[in-house]
Structure 1
């Protein structure tokens, strides 16, 4: 039972972090869009753990969480942004199982800009039939990026720190009620995932079509519980992404 509980926690966290959640690539430069201007794009996002695991093969539950929180994976990336005016900009992003909305303000000095944003994300509930588990959640992230762009906006570069966290909750079926064989006994699932790191990106294009590449690196911490069982892990991961973006 203890092993099943630990594996359940790992899967719950994996549903959050492996789907990229609030940590999905930004895919936008520091300079904001002019008022009324819109961009839409599609591409990919991924996650690659870097540091070797410090856990032994016998630590089944902790390894399940580690694999979940920073599991290698590839997901679609679809996003859109709109210029609000006065150097404000808003956007939405979808990456497989998670959706993110954000707003940001930029301080612009000709070819340089400093952007501060706030994003909120939701993890769409999904059931894992193997572990009889269903979990969803929500989170936030705060990116602070500084960027440069060339004349005519042919090239853009940006980098800066980014951090955030996610809260997870759900339920797991742990057995059949001995007093009612048609009824399952449910345990509450709760978990968390926090990360802090940096962003580096570049955009190349002309007028209406751009290619965007971004690499994020972050330290991840994750933990959770089902009933009285508690476990936690940490790991560093690189999160690359790329997209084609069209401006209107």
Structure 2
């Protein structure tokens, strides 16, 4: 499963309230470890892991896992890619075990992101917020994490905080379309049409895309809040 996209957001954007965020705040924050440096890989292994990472980006997680099996390595970076592959193939429990083992490693930020995505996909927004906040604190310049964190904040009703994360993501990576879409959608939801359309022009969002985002924002604003059971 790839980075949370604007389209994934459609199904559950208005199904949660700020009550979830309040529950998340009540939990103890994750204690982050000091920065660790991954061991240097030999050139051949580094090249093969880069190819496997590209397979995951291309939506070929089963092939990626097969190549990891053939590589026969348990380095932190290889295990992280394996967890990504397992998550993308619907084996979230197996992925979670690996991610949890990696939270004390040199790839801890990416491991926290993986845990956050699993929690978000399961509808557990408090846990998703905790993990993605830890990921963002560990890797503050990683634009995909900023976008993911902003998405969950938006789901939780924390729009001001979400806006900060989306703005940070698009400033870090102006070509990151997912963050641009989410930013414009959030601005439409807040009624800031002028700013939303200014950003759309800046990012080259075409009229059809903009109309779709506007409809999604209107649908989200019409939906009533879900009360706690």
Q: Which has the higher strand share?
A: 1
By the TM > 0.5 criterion, same fold? Answer: no
Q: Which has the higher helix share?
A: 2
TM range (shorter): under 0.3
Give the TM-score taking structure 2 as reference length. Answer: 0.22
> Is the radius of gyration larger for structure 1 or structure 2?
1
